[in-house]
Amino acid sequence: MAMQVSLCLIVLSSLSLNKTKVHYAIFCTRKNLFMKRSILLLLILLSFNSFGQQPITISGKIKMKIGTTIRIWRYTDNISFERQILYTTKSKTDSTFNFSIPLDKTQLLNLSANEFSTQILVNPNQDYVIDLTPYSNLSEKSLQISSVRNPLIPQNDLIKAYEVVSDSAISLLFGRTNQRPTLNNMKQFNAAIDKGLLNIENKYCRDIVQSLRIHFLTMSRANSFATAINTYYHCENLPIDNPAFQSLISETFQSYFKSGPPSITRYNLFSGIPDSVHYTDLLTMLSVDSSLTCRPIREMVLLCNLYSMIRDEELEPEKGNNLLKEGAEKSSDPFNRLLANNISHSIRTKKPGSYVPDFSIISPEGNNINISKFKGKALHITFFSFKGMADRNLLNQLTDVAHFADSLGVAKFVCITTDQNKEEITKFWNEKKYPMQLYFAPDDYTLIDYFNISSLPFFVLLDAEGKLNSLMPNFPGELLLKQIINLHPSVNRSPENHQSVQKSASSILQDHPLKK
């Protein structure tokens, strides 16, 4: 636009009655040339953008009931585990499905149908034709993938990657109880990994293997993190957006601030970070450890720990969010800037006091019930799996707390399962005579996604107004009971309940007449 204005001024200043047509022709020529160049540049940019987002098509059949909801999604990162739903569809009358989504690079996606799920590694600009078969045992529920077109690349490399770091290879490092592996053990382990890598062509999968290698070498104390990371990666070329690498950093330094170098533990970050300390200050402090000389790793470690500190209420949320905002602006790596934003968003949407959307759940009779129905009392929501033994033990413990809370009139208890065998679960529920109300999650899984549930059992506690009090509140028992009673100060003021509440929660449960 500026160029066009300057051209116009030049033409107008040089106009004369005798040369008007000549100058106008020159102006039009230059203007047309400028417009053509602009259009060409725009087309080039659009071409780059279209090449950057190449579509993949996934189609096939699923051996489940007609109209099963199939979702394709990914984690925004493997630290906050926020989910991004890419596509949702339903299987047709012949059990087929198909969808197309744009990708800019090789990515690990999640494919799920009801409570079954699997990981699928896909390359941009490819078609995948697969059959999905649900497989279930006592420990897991997964979708098994069989390819209509062989070979299914890079999925086969993903399978090889996990097979390389097998139990037999890992046992070479952990064969000696409470002792470091010998040099021979380390040599055998690394030889097994190196041999397996020869059969994997896909770089994404090779980075998974290398990240797992570093994890187990560090965990077994065969190598320090600094030695292992410097042996298999270079700071200038880290696979920082690979989920295995993200998990490696997060798990390795999960308690870093508590058990790290003296200069950090003396600073006692978990007791609170002063307002005078900023993101770059904390990065400088982290560099005192020889294993954290690489700035992108320091940034990721710091963001991981800030997330844990804010979530666990060890760091004041406003200060923590200010540090995350600085991290989103000052991190050296694009992924870490994205991670800071992801974590900040996760904390904002899940913070105590925020309203939870009025989700619909399904009763054993097949009726849709909104969560708002339970407003007026605290609501403890337990998400569980009918197949899990730990979940069944949980239900028995939850029974005692629910009986007592009901006698005080302070809370409702709802148990939601993603299992689809409604008749079997309802029969089991009625036989056990559980006081908690049973419901089923809709198969669109929006409720599961909102709370970011990645493992079961999972707990949510809402206050009487339907606002979030806490995610993953304490396991059923004394602490949970105290937590619920604290939401109802009127219980402590009530004369008829005063004597009971003064007793310990454990003795209340022990003496309660309804206890089974």
Residues facing residue 440 across a β-bridge: 362, 417
- For residue 49, is pLDDT > 60? no
Q: At what angle do helices 334-350 and 317-330 cross, to 10 degrees?
A: 160
pLDDT at 461: 94
Q: What is the pLDDT of residue 511?
A: 54
Q: What is the per-residue pLDDT for 52?
A: 62
pLDDT digit string, tens, across residues 16-38: 333 333 333 333 344 454 444 44
- Whether the bond into 274 is cis, omega within 30 of 0: no
**43-52: Cβ within 8 A, 24+ apart:** 52/104
pLDDT given at position 116: 87
Quick one: average pLDDT of 46-57?
65
Q: pLDDT, tens digit, for every residue of 119-131?
A: 999 999 889 999 9
Give the pLDDT confidence of 286-307 residue by residue, as tens digits.
Answer: 777 777 889 999 999 999 988 9
The predicted pLDDT at position 234 comes to 92
Nearest CA to 82 out of 460, 453, 470 is that of 453
User: What would the two tokens of residue 368 be?
Assistant: 């849709």
Inform me whether the pLDDT recorded for 170 exceeds 90.
Answer: yes
Query: Sheet harboring 378-384: ordered strands across?
Result: 368-370, 360-362, 437-440, 411-417, 378-384, 458-462, 468-471
Angle 295-311/317-330 helices, nearest 10 degrees? 160
Which tokens go with 370?
Answer: 């909104």
Residues with Cβ within 8 Å of 502's Cβ and at least 6 positions away in sequence, in order, are: none
Q: Are strands 468-471 and 458-462 parallel, antiparallel or unpaired?
A: antiparallel
H/E element, 3: helix 2-13
Over residues 300-323, the mean pLDDT reads 86
- State residue 516's pLDDT score: 42
* DSSP state letters, 307-343: HHHHHTTSS-HHHHHHHHHHHHHH-SSHHHHHHHHHH
| 447-465 average pLDDT score | 88
**pLDDT number for residue 41:** 46
The count of other CB atoms within 10 Å of the CB of residue 223 is: 21
d(CA 41, CA 191): 52
- Whether 506 has a pLDDT exceeding 50, the answer reads yes
Q: Tell me how far apart the alpha carbons of residues 197 and 210 are, in angstroms, rounded to a whole number.
A: 9
H helices present in 225-360, as ranges: 225-232, 243-252, 256-259, 262-267, 279-286, 295-311, 317-330, 334-350
The pair of three-digit structure tokens given for residue 374, joined into one six-digit string:
């339970």
How many CA atoms lie less than 13 Å away from 330 in the CB half-sphere?
17
Is the pLDDT assigned to residue 205 strictly greater than 60? yes
User: Given this model, what pLDDT does residue 10 score?
Assistant: 26
Q: What mean pLDDT comes out for the span 329-357?
A: 92
User: CA quadruple 255, 257, 263, 267: dihedral positive or negative?
Assistant: negative
Burial 317-332, CB ≥16 within 10 A → b, else e: eebbbbbbebbbeebe
Taking every pair of C-alpha atoms in the chain, what is the biggest distance, in angstroms?
A: 110
Enumerate the β-bridge partners of residue 72: 87, 111
Collapse the DSSP code of 402 into the 3-class scheme (helix H, G, I; strand E, B; otherwise coil) and give the result: helix
Of the pLDDT bands very low, low, confident and very high (cuts 50, 70, 90), residue 341 is very high
d(CA 41, CA 206): 38
pLDDT at position 47:
45
Q: Is the pLDDT of residue 223 over 70?
A: yes
E strand or H helix at 47: helix 20-52
Residue pointed to by tokens 């707990």: 459
Of 40-44, 136-140, 213-217, 398-402, where does the model show the most confidence? 213-217
d(CA 490, CA 486): 9
Mean pLDDT of all residues in the chain? 81
Q: Considering only 138-142, 255-259, 422-426, 433-437, which range has the smallest mean pLDDT?
A: 255-259
State yes or no: pLDDT of 75 exceeds 80.
Answer: yes
Dihedral sign, CA of 321, 326, 332, 337? Answer: positive
The predicted structure's pLDDT at residue 510:
57
How far, in Å, CA of 339 to CA of 73, rounded? 18
134: its two tokens: 């649900």
Q: Which residues contact 21 (CB under 8 A, 6 or more apart)?
A: none
pLDDT band at 396 (very low <50, low <70, confident <90, very high): confident
Cα distance between residue 31 and residue 13, in whole Å: 17
pLDDT over 70 for what percent of the chain? 79
pLDDT given for residue 258 in this prediction: 63
What pTM did the predictor assign? Answer: 0.76
Residue 255 pLDDT: 64
Q: How far apart are CA 228 and CA 186, in angstroms?
A: 12
**For residue 327, what pLDDT is reported?**
96
In the predicted model, is pLDDT for residue 372 greater than 80?
A: yes
Q: Which residue has the higher pLDDT, 156 or 267?
A: 156
**Arithmetic mean of pLDDT, 239-266:** 77
Q: Output the CA angle 473-476-480, nearest 5 degrees.
A: 50
Most confident of 149-163, 359-373, 440-454, 492-506: 359-373
